[in-house]
Amino acid sequence: MTSMFSLEGKNAIVVGGGSGIGEAVAMGCAEQGAYVRCLDIDLDSATGTAAVIRTVGGEADSGQVDIVDGAAVTAAFEGLKADRGSLDVVVCTPGINVRKPLLDYTDEEIDRVLSVNIKGNAHVIQAAGRIMAAQGSGSIILFSSIRSLVVEPGQSIYAATKAGIVQLVRAAAAELGPSGVRVNAVAPGVIDTPLTEPIKENADWYNAYGDRNIFKRWGTAREMAGPTVFLASEAASYVTGTVLFADGGWTAIDGRFTPPGM
């Protein structure tokens, strides 16, 4: 069974590989034997992740890309294909959120969230899908969220985009499946990363999120690497068009109160 989870001989791109979940996923893929190209809008952070991977014996390099720029995404993906001969795995983790009431959103803020979270992920599917369909194989993994199912005040546009990513994944899976390409999503719960640092500054907010799930704690970026590597590997060869919730049971339970006697 161990070999089913191996990524030996695979060439992977992790977009957002410079920090947080993307960094953890890049390192996880490398640990399973993949050659990893870490791409990020912040080139220095991507370069840092690749350097750490090489330090521990993995194979990796880095580059810069903004997923809003479709031509740049295509060039970056075709670059790995040209350099390594195949593009076997693509993971895209970046997303942005503007936390505010829906009635207070400006057009610019709406456009910014939609542009990164929807257009950017569509660019990733397009660029990866064209290459993988032509070679007859590949796995594309996007990142959705618990917010694709459940919301709270201030999460309107973000939640809409995370639900939209699910539909992008399903449609792409249906369209690319006949060519041997699998498309799936991971949906994290509350994960302790640099992007969630502001929440830590408010103890009530931070603790409320931790208490909301079954495990009564936040998840770590490292805990997102396992589900992602699974979807990338042959262990998930019959898995496509689906969403893997890695949320500590957040979406499985209703409410925060445990009835007496339970």
Catalytic residues: 158
Task: Let me know: does 13 contact 91? Beta carbons within 8 Å.
Answer: yes
Q: What are phi and psi of 101, to 5 degrees?
A: -60, 145
* Residues 18 and 66: beta-carbon distance below 8 Å: no
Closest listed residue to residue 18, CA positions, set 66, 58, 71, 82: 66
Helix axes 121-135, 70-84, angle to 10 degrees: 30
What stretch of H or E contains 102? none
Task: Tell me phi and psi for residue 113, to 5 degrees.
Answer: -70, -45
Three-state secondary-structure class, residue 97: coil
Q: What is the secondary structure of 120-159 as a DSSP string?
A: IHHHHHHHHHHHHHHHT-EEEEEE--GGGT---TT-HHHH
Amino acid at 14: V
Q: Taking Cα atoms as reference points, which of 72, 224, 61 lies closest to residue 144?
A: 224
In order of 96, 110, 149, 156, the CA distances from 161 in angstroms are: 10, 10, 11, 9
Query: What letter does residue 173 receive in the DSSP assignment?
Result: H
Six-digit token string for 165: 């990513």
Q: What is the DSSP string of 24-64?
A: HHHHHHHHTT-EEEEEESSHHHHHHHHHHHHHTT-EEEEEE
